[in-house]
């Protein structure tokens, strides 16, 4: 009696273990047989009843069999599955293709195949039997034909934003002895003007480039207050006062 109970216990343990579904997730580009590309660090078998999420560009080197309960999903952002082998989808299994899929023959034997945009597919042949179904959304780059090169998608990446250049002009030291500097950053070319208290232009210079440091040596200027501004066209970007003490 104890032997029968133990056998039943082992049978139930084996049943629940095999019935438990696992989700396998890709974490980087690579080959199906490489354990480092799977989140769990373990390679799922090619004959599988689990959920397999392809989120990167993956090659496979054996036929894939999706048994009852299996879901193979190719993600739309970077997901791609490619290999010169066959994929069989049995009854109770499903293949969802959002990304790219390249293979030799797709056999739908009672299962379901949904080929959904945006990713294309490349296949030599497809067969649907045993009450299975295959739904295909057309895509210009898809082809039921012989092919040589995998279609590897390039995930969309937002272009880097061009940093906005803020106009900034600093005249230093202030006060000075007539030897002073202008540090600037700007989006467009401007002109620097230096005035006396009567508003007369004593000197001017063009400020070229996005940023620079200019040095002015004006030892001939008398002690007193002076004024400066940076202008482009009719726009005044900055104004200031400068005190010279010799």
Q: What is the pLDDT of residues 135-157, one digit of tens each?
A: 987 566 788 888 888 777 655 44
Q: First-to-last CA distance in the chain?
A: 113
Residue 14 confidence (pLDDT) above 60:
no
Q: What is the pLDDT of residues 78-107, one digit of tens each?
A: 889 999 999 999 999 999 998 889 999 999
Q: Do 150 and 81 meet the contact criterion of CB atoms below 8 Å apart?
A: no
Provide the token pair at 82: 């490619």
Looking at per-residue pLDDT, the higher value among 38 and 17 belongs to 38
- For residue 18, the surrounding DSSP H or E stretch is helix 2-19
CATH architecture of the domain with range 168-244: Sandwich (2.60)
Percent of the chain with pLDDT over 70: 86
* Rounded CA separation 228/209 (Å): 20
- Mean pLDDT over residues 168-184, rounded? 95
| Domain residue ranges in the chain | 21-144, 168-244
Residue 236's pLDDT is: 94
φ, ψ of residue 126 to 5 degrees: the values are -140, 140
Provide the token pair at 2: 């104890």
CA dihedral 136, 137, 143, 149 (to 10 degrees): -100
Look at the pTM and tell me if it is higher than 0.75.
no
């Amino acid at each position: 009696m104890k032997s029968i109970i133990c056998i039943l216990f082992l049978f139930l343990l084996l049943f629940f273990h095999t019935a438990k579904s696992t989700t396998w997730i890709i974490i980087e580009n690579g080959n199906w047989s490489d354990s480092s590309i799977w989140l769990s660090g373990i390679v799922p078998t090619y004959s599988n009843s689990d959920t397999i999420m392809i989120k990167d560009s993956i090659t496979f080197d054996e036929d894939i069999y999706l048994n009852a309960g299996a879901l193979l999903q190719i993600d739309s952002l970077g997901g791609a599955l490619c290999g010169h082998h066959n994929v069989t989808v049995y009854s109770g299994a499903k293949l969802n293709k959002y990304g790219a899929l390249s293979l030799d023959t797709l056999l739908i034997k009672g299962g379901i195949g949904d080929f959904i945009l945006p990713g294309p597919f490349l296949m030599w042949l497809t067969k649907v039997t045993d009450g299975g179904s295959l739904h295909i959304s057309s895509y210009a780059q898809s082809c039921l034909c012989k092919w040589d090169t995998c279609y590897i998608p390039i995930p969309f990446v937002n272009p880097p934003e061009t940093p906005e250049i803020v106009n900034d002009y600093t005249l230093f030291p202030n006060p000075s002895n007539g030897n002073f500097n202008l540090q600037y950053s700007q989006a467009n070319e401007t002109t620097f003007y230096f005035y006396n208290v009567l508003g007369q232009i004593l000197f001017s210079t063009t400020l070229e480039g996005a940023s620079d440091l200019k040095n002015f040596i004006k030892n001939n200027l008398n002690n007193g207050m002076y004024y400066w501004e940076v202008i482009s066209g009719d726009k005044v970007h900055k104004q200031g006062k400068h005190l010279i003490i010799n």
